[in-house]
Structure 1
């Protein structure tokens, strides 16, 4: 099979035009009021009745003729005869004449002859045979909003205020009049619109049909979450299907997941054709690059129309755009970061247009780049970044009229979080994107950049930390609001702290040099060798790894645990009159360093190793054996310029519990 080469890459503008040329509209459908929220109307809806359909009282009180109250006040009330009562939901049985009132409940129909009402608080009920005010004072209302004595006849009421015609009355059609325009085409229906439609008696509305988007992930290595994954065969969980489906729903489409298509062209064609028959748009991920086994572009070329293959953008160069039967087609790269960046930039806007949903309100922030960034590939770049606020400004710290806690006085720092297109956490730990033009190959530290946030709801973390992965610190983070922590290891964490990017760094083991940092707290953790339950190999220490044929799994040199092990190896070398290099070479697997603190233990569980470097707490949690080699100090170090930051102060308070034995 010949390898397809990328020659002339299309520009991002060409890719947008190609997608805009595709028809994604799904037509019109009628939906019930229960399913109407968020949908987009395709036709104007006019009121077919008045709302309300009758003149109704706005308050509890008395309906009357306004002219009977003219001149009335507290000192000289008008005395009128009570001739009945009207409650909400019933038809009035009386008509008013001069000098008469009807007791009325909120929302009740105004009786004939009445043109206003007086609230009960401005009245006094009196006996009809008396010329004096009743001693009981104003009439009271019960828990249901109805007035006491509503059906008692023979009473008068003293009106202690004057009203004008129409006072305290909502006339028929005052809310919506029959024939009035209620909602127009293009309206995205909200809960308050549903309230209006309900008031008009409308139970079904014509809306744009949400475009159906078929999602096909390709690759023999993919496994659905929830199923068993065999890492030894290179299997990985399918990330793209679920993240793309969520993006489709968020953009207003209807996501339809299809079975994985393997790397066989016939199988791929069958799945894609099924999706094309049932959907308005088919989105695949994977099998779009120039690799000899990536054949999806051949399916589109042979069975449909390929409009574009390859875009001058990073990440996402191997993007496909075309048609398959009567359906639009977009092929995304297989790596999760590439797939989601391309989906967000090109595909989501097309789905929103087809669904009639406007682009979300753009949210951007401007900040300084935390470190220099080089890029020399000559392509438009979509760079995932995180944002972090610095400590309060100098003006705030010096009492310049701003609160020292005011986040608004903080400076925003922007740092790249791209771990590569295959790392799913690049987007999980990012707040937005910085776009870099193809002509730019160098961004200077401190250079102003504009971040397009993933949503207007994005807020910088209250605390940004980096460094060692430690179970105790993870529990501390659980007690903070909106922290962000990147487990990069002790050495990279300290390096980033020196660069001034994070608020804090967590370091384990001995520190090789003095740091310009403030220690917020520390604790001890037990480290050693994690072995199988019961320690069947009877491993006693590092010397066993040197002298016996045992398989060992180490941590990377960035990890704090590695520094303690290296010190133990140095001690053993000195005791034996040997060199550190000779001792390390004698340990099978010493150079195999894994990044995550539990990974060596997982290798022991899988039977791939006899021992792994780890923590006693990890061994206990996984019910494994443990050979202790010592204790290691874990320190939380703060950027000295951020000690006044609210999140840092809260962290310091939580760390006090750790130092006193709390969890």
Structure 2
């Protein structure tokens, strides 16, 4: 009779976790078709390669017009415009809007050339037998129009490394035209069950001979898959130790991790010792836990090995407590959670539409770890709402508002949803995208400097990224920043070599939105030029064709210039270099990172600050 070989001193649970954490189960990254990407985890950042939508489109049924033609129109004194034709969704416009004319458009239609706004159909009446339309309201440029890139713009950071791919992210990737996705590899886990008494489900069972169905193989396979691994079932070894040794070698050659169950008898342990000593190392035998004391941990060749107890409840308990976290980490999966959480509203949200509402919301933890809930609503046409929100709050029809601090229940989109480790709001910038890549599970809302300052003052995000002239909220903590060169990207055939040339010559310009730091610095430059010329900024901005044509992302103006839709645009030097466009520098702008004073010790904030210090 052989002596049973085991560690005499049982390891503590902490020691067992430390030993297990030293095992390497992570396979190499791979690329998979988009149709097979669900439940996988991104291995690298994906930036938008095109604008979504890819064209300026009508967001309401109505009439495409030149906004200037509607100025002064109201119910008492409507404006009549000639109808030049119609454009429906999915067709290329065959007509253009000239001064004094309008074109009928349906929701989603491409905006015809010359139009810069849509008058909703409810504020119009067709007259003269359908040859003209009476407009009973004034509109401004951009009204009821979704500009190209308004959902997500080419060059913007779409999804970061480590992002789990659910139906929401698949929707965004589809909108971006991505057909192949870089994902983390799935760890393969070989499962070997032992014991002469075991019979695989589906085979005949002789209870009189003490046979029982093999519960562990399928249970562990399901648990492995649930944790994000790829289970591989090997034939039942029984108590044939030569066959057990062969299967362990085979599984070790083919898998990242090998699990055996029921292999803790003296004779079976001798076989496992022999295999491990021949091709690896036994690191642990026995843990001071109940159930699951006789756990084995080691390596076989390049593969990790864990021996689990034979009793199903013990095997599953040990797997979930000790092994599942390793599989999840290798697969890039998060710890599971319930599908409903309770948090406090970070801001007051008003609602008075008289209908039940499923309000998209995001989650963020404050400095004390309490869960805060904030509304996320970029409009029903925006696919990015899918990934900016974590779940929904059901708002009853008779609710006028939900107060700041009020407890709300959030129905999560998935039980796997977790609050981001870092929530930032503010300016978009290519350097910022690189910094965010260094943080685990960040969320960043590129809403511009003005909105970043406003939301930081309200206490919702962990940090705000601001650029250009701006007044930080009181008590905001400045973590650091960087400088960026800004100016004009210029088409090859456009003779724009200065801001003065843009003002004085007849060129088409694309601006940034008023909330962005670039726009604020551009307006300051116009102010300086106006002072030099002894005039006012309005006179100069009126002279710039397209001054009011604004975009929401830092690459958007340059993309329009690159596509031949403009002669010049407000942009960064880095964008011009990336896209190979000519560039006129107008100055250097400081980008500052301002932290919520109550969140400076959050791990995500500290990780971002470390990355910032490394610039």
* TM-score, normalising length: structure 2: 0.54
The correspondence for 1:183, drawn from 145, 159, 163, is 159
* Corresponding position of 2:59: 58
The correspondence for 2:337, drawn from 358, 361, 385, is 361
Is 1:233 the counterpart of 2:209? The answer is: yes
Contact 1:289 1:318 in 2 (8 A): no
By how many angstroms is 1:262 displaced? 2.0
By how many angstroms is 1:265 displaced? 2.1
* Corresponding position of 1:39: 40
Three-state SS of the structure 2 residue aligned to 1:232 is helix
Three-state SS of the structure 1 residue aligned to 2:83 is strand
Whole-Å separation in 1 of the counterparts to 2:95 and 2:288 = 80
Three-state SS of the structure 2 residue aligned to 1:118 is strand
Contact 1:41 1:207 in 2 (8 A): yes
* Corresponding position of 1:3: 3
Three-state SS of the structure 2 residue aligned to 1:49 is coil
Deviations 1:416-471 (A, max 9, x none): xxxxxxxxxxxxxxxxxxxxxxxxxxxxxxxxxxxxxxx979xxxxxxxxxxxxxx
Contact 1:4 1:291 in 2 (8 A): yes
Whole-Å separation in 1 of the counterparts to 2:178 and 2:99 = 41
Gaps of 5+ in 2: 342-413, 417-615
Three-state SS of the structure 2 residue aligned to 1:216 is strand
Deviations 1:545-585 (A, max 9, x none): xxxxxxxxxxxxxxxxxxxxxxxxxxxxxxxxxxxxxxxxx
* Corresponding position of 1:605: none
Is 1:222 the counterpart of 2:198? The answer is: yes
Equivalences, count: 343
* Corresponding position of 1:255: 231
* Corresponding position of 2:120: 119
Whole-Å separation in 2 of the counterparts to 1:226 and 1:74 = 77
By how many angstroms is 1:318 displaced? 0.8
By how many angstroms is 1:163 displaced? 0.8
Whole-Å separation in 2 of the counterparts to 1:311 and 1:364 = 34
Whole-Å separation in 2 of the counterparts to 1:290 and 1:75 = 97
The correspondence for 1:283, drawn from 259, 266, 289, is 259
* Corresponding position of 1:320: 296
Whole-Å separation in 2 of the counterparts to 1:107 and 1:123 = 19
By how many angstroms is 1:360 displaced? 2.2
Contact 1:288 1:296 in 2 (8 A): no
By how many angstroms is 1:176 displaced? 1.3
Three-state SS of the structure 2 residue aligned to 1:186 is coil
* Corresponding position of 1:171: 147
By how many angstroms is 1:290 displaced? 4.1
By how many angstroms is 1:301 displaced? 3.4
Deviations 1:576-631 (A, max 9, x none): xxxxxxxxxxxxxxxxxxxxxxxxxxxxxxxxxxxxxxxxxxxxxxxxxxxxxxxx
Structure 1 ranges of 4+ moved more than 6 A:
291-294, 362-365
By how many angstroms is 1:292 displaced? 7.3
Change (3 A) 1:362 1:191: closer
Change (3 A) 1:331 1:364: farther
Deviations 1:497-545 (A, max 9, x none): xxxxxxxxxxxxxxxxxxxxxxxxxxxxxxxxxxxxxxxxxxxxxxxxx
Whole-Å separation in 2 of the counterparts to 1:219 and 1:208 = 35
Which is further off, 295-304 or 39-48? Answer: 295-304
The correspondence for 2:136, drawn from 160, 163, 170, is 160
Contact 1:289 1:333 in 2 (8 A): no
Change (3 A) 1:100 1:288: same
Contact 2:10 2:285 in 1 (8 A): yes
Whole-Å separation in 2 of the counterparts to 1:178 and 1:309 = 55
* Corresponding position of 1:265: 241
By how many angstroms is 1:199 displaced? 1.1
* Corresponding position of 1:95: 96
Three-state SS of the structure 1 residue aligned to 2:245 is helix
Contact 1:300 1:323 in 2 (8 A): yes
Whole-Å separation in 1 of the counterparts to 2:290 and 2:91 = 69
Three-state SS of the structure 2 residue aligned to 1:311 is coil
By how many angstroms is 1:237 displaced? 0.2
Whole-Å separation in 2 of the counterparts to 1:316 and 1:235 = 23
Whole-Å separation in 2 of the counterparts to 1:304 and 1:266 = 18
Contact 1:258 1:271 in 2 (8 A): yes
Whole-Å separation in 2 of the counterparts to 1:190 and 1:314 = 36
Whole-Å separation in 1 of the counterparts to 2:268 and 2:31 = 47
Contact 2:263 2:310 in 1 (8 A): yes
Is 1:13 the counterpart of 2:18? The answer is: no
Three-state SS of the structure 2 residue aligned to 1:350 is helix
Three-state SS of the structure 2 residue aligned to 1:314 is coil
Q: Which has the larger radius of gyration?
A: 1
Change (3 A) 1:192 1:363: closer
By how many angstroms is 1:74 displaced? 1.6
Change (3 A) 1:104 1:456: closer
Deviations 1:9-42 (A, max 9, x none): 1111111111111110011111111111111111
Three-state SS of the structure 2 residue aligned to 1:30 is strand
Change (3 A) 1:207 1:12: same
Is 1:341 the counterpart of 2:342? The answer is: no
Whole-Å separation in 1 of the counterparts to 2:258 and 2:337 = 27
Change (3 A) 1:188 1:364: closer
Is 1:209 the counterpart of 2:185? The answer is: yes
Is 1:86 the counterpart of 2:62? The answer is: no
By how many angstroms is 1:100 displaced? 0.3
Change (3 A) 1:113 1:362: closer
By how many angstroms is 1:299 displaced? 3.1
Change (3 A) 1:105 1:292: closer
Whole-Å separation in 2 of the counterparts to 1:362 and 1:91 = 48
